Amino acid sequence: MNKVLSFEEKLSRLSVIVSELESGKLSLDASLALFEEGNRLSKELATELNNAKVKIEELQSK
Amino acid sequence: MREILTISKLNNYVKNLIQDDPYLSYVEVRGEIINLKRYATAIYFTLKEGDTARLSAVSFNIKAFPSTLKEGDEVVASGRISVYEKSGTYQIICHDVSYYGLGAKLMALQALKVKLEKTGIFSADKKRKIPRFPKTIGIITPKDSAAQSDIITNINRRYPLATLKIINATFQGDSAPLSLIKAFKTLNETNIDVMIMARGGGSSDDLWAFNDEALVLALSERKVPLISAIGHEIDTTLVDYIADLRASTPTAAAELSVPDQNELRQDLANVEIRLQNAILSKYDLLHTSLVNLTKRPVLINFNEIIKTIETSLLSLRTKLGAYSAKIINQSELLVRSQSERLQHVTINRLNRQGEDITYLSAKLLTLNPKNVLERGYAFITRDQAVIKNAKELKTKDIIKIQFSDGSVKAEVLEGEEYE
């Protein structure tokens, strides 16, 4: 997962992580890895919201 | 010598004069309907031009007289001028009566709506779903309008991650439809996820551009969902009909186009709690397994280790529990960063516990029966089945006794039943 995920992709990944963790079927190691990834994503998303400001472009009719 | 006329002769003369006049044999005259009287075979009314002039009218062609027409309506009556001899008045005998002005526009609009409906461009299966997280939003508004600033303010407040592509168009007057079509086509060729067409309030006459057939047909070629915020609840324009979502105001359109960051932040906080709870349940499960292990006599020697792990897990749970509670209560980022530090510590702790458990399982593996045999025990099989009870063996049974270094074959001299 080297590519930069969009806000929406991160949110959907986060939701997958929570479901997988909540299923309780994973090994301890896998659970911990997901727990860390989930917390990291959640933090990143909050940071994105905190730093964002609407970008405005003005277009002309062709 | 002049003839002295009867009234009927005079009226008849005038009638013939008028009826023979080619100009009066067909006229179209405009006026407001008053004194409307409907009968089975004829409809009588008067056409009025302000307070300056009136004209009596009759229509024997009831089918050509729209049933929706009422007093006060502005109409165009067409027909011939004739004289009603009994009263010595002249009147128009109408072939046709139709709406004039706004009335005509409304009728034409209704007809256009029906026509466009038949093409299916308004149907429910043509409606697109507004994406939940649009990256780029195209906006068509009047230049420097309140609509434009309302949309920018509200999208920035709710979802500052969005990029807005704004294009201005003329929203009123004869040039409006073409200007709107051009703006739409430019935007439609741009990479956007959703489109808003919005204007402020105004009289209903200002909305006519949004009933333009060419504009509506152009909008039917949209590549992304369209949210309209054209007019008021009472005046639905054709653009509102073709839009995928209709908003009552520009602010409402902005709110419908993007999610609310406050809700997203709440969602994120909930997700963090769920993550905590899930990992805690995982530990609870491991804890229970450890407790069960302590009950197996063969593991009695490990009691000390297990007690230690149990204590660690307990304090771990307390800490994680406290962390979860913090997430619920915290609203300040400051508090959040502190708890994140705590969480970091916790994760390291969890990792260490994970290693302990791996070590434990390795130990468990070494407890295979072979090790037990080395301590001087042996087990017995008959036909490869392990014998666990004396009752299972009868006199003369041939058995195998398994030691740690090999096995011997033996015969039972006296089975259980012998006693």
pLDDT tens-digit map of B53-81: 999 999 998 887 888 788 888 899 999 99
Nearest CA in chain A to B262: A49
Q: Tell me, what's the pLDDT at B305?
A: 57
Q: Tell me, what's the pLDDT at B345?
A: 54
What is each CA distance from B206 to B195, B253, B381, in whole angstroms? 22, 20, 100
Give the pTM.
0.58
Taking contacts as CB-CB distances below 8 angstroms, the residues of chain A near B133 are: 6-8, 11
- Rounded Cα–Cα distance for residues B273 and A39 (Å): 10
**Residues B26-50 pLDDT 10s:** 999 999 999 999 998 999 999 999 8
Contact A8 B133 (CB under 8 A): yes
| Bigger pLDDT: A15 vs B236 | A15
- Rounded Cα–Cα distance for residues B186 and B181 (Å): 9
Give first-to-last CA distance, chain B, whole Å.
Answer: 170
Task: Identify the residue among B275, B344, B359 best suited for mutation to test binding to A, counting A beta carbons within 10 A and taking the highest.
Answer: B275
Contact B347 A59 (CB under 8 A): no
Q: Closest Cα partner for B181 from B211, B227, B209, B218?
A: B218
Contact B155 A15 (CB under 8 A): no
Q: Tell me, what's the pLDDT at B346?
A: 56
Confidence grade of residue B276 (pLDDT, cut at 50, 70, 90): confident
**Ranges B175-179, B193-197, B407-411: which has the least confidence:** B407-411
Average pLDDT for chain B: 82
What is each CA distance from B81 to B35, B53, B91, B131, B405, in whole angstroms? 19, 16, 6, 63, 132
| Bigger pLDDT: B173 vs A16 | A16
Amino acid, res. A1: M
**Residues B326-354 pLDDT 10s:** 444 443 344 344 445 555 555 565 566 55
Q: Tell me, what's the pLDDT at B99?
A: 83
Taking contacts as CB-CB distances below 8 angstroms, the residues of chain B near A37 are: none
Question: Pick from B272, B285, B351: which is nearest to A39 by CB?
Answer: B272
Average pLDDT for chain A: 86
User: Within 13 A of B226's CA, how many CA atoms are on the CB side?
Assistant: 26
- Rounded Cα–Cα distance for residues B388 and B381 (Å): 9
Is pLDDT of B261 > 70? yes
- As for the ipTM of the complex, it is 0.88
B253 token code pair = 């359109």
Q: Tell me, what's the pLDDT at A33?
A: 85
B277 token code pair = 């709870």
What is each CA distance from B16 to B10, B84, B89, B292, B348, in whole angstroms? 10, 11, 13, 120, 113
Confidence grade of residue B52 (pLDDT, cut at 50, 70, 90): very high
Q: Closest Cα partner for B80 from B53, B59, B101?
A: B59
Average pLDDT of the segment spanning B362-376:
60
Is pLDDT of B187 > 70? yes
Average pLDDT of the segment spanning B254-280:
90
- Residue A6 touches partner B, C-beta closer than 8 Å: yes
| Bigger pLDDT: B285 vs B5 | B5
Contact B275 A15 (CB under 8 A): no
Contact B161 A21 (CB under 8 A): no
**Residues A33-46 pLDDT 10s:** 888 899 899 989 99
Average pLDDT of the segment spanning B133-144:
94
- Residue A48 touches partner B, C-beta closer than 8 Å: yes
Q: Closest Cα partner for B412 from B385, B386, B381, B375?
A: B381
Q: Min CA distance, A28 vs chain B (Å)?
A: 7
Percent of the residues in chain B that have a pLDDT greater than 90, as a whole number = 46
B401 token code pair = 């006794």
Nearest CA in chain B to A32: B279
- Residue A32 touches partner B, C-beta closer than 8 Å: yes
Average pLDDT of the segment spanning B163-171:
94
